[in-house]
Amino acid sequence: MGEWFAKIRVFFEGTSEELGKCSWPSRPQLLESTLLVIVALVILSVFVTAVDQVLIFAINLVTTGSI
């Protein structure tokens, strides 16, 4: 059981050491990236909604023959 805890401790020490080697973004970089993701998400959502509406219209036109 003690060996199990030692392995867990070594894992967390290694993880902490590796995280220390990472280069973390500055606050302005993080905000800019977050804004970019949100804008891309909104654009993609609008596109998917538009395609969905066009396909619904086309399917209704084909299946019922009317708008």
Mean pLDDT, residues 59-66: 88
For residue 52, which of 64, 44, 40, 41 has the smallest C-alpha distance?
A: 44
Give the model confidence (pLDDT) of 4-46 as tens digits: 888 999 999 999 999 999 999 999 999 999 999 999 999 999 9
∠ Cα 52 56 60 (to 5°): 170
Tell me, rounded to whole angstroms, the distance of Cα 19 from its chain centroid: 21
* Residue 2 clears pLDDT 80, i.e. is over it: no
pLDDT attached to residue 67? 66
pLDDT attached to residue 48? 98
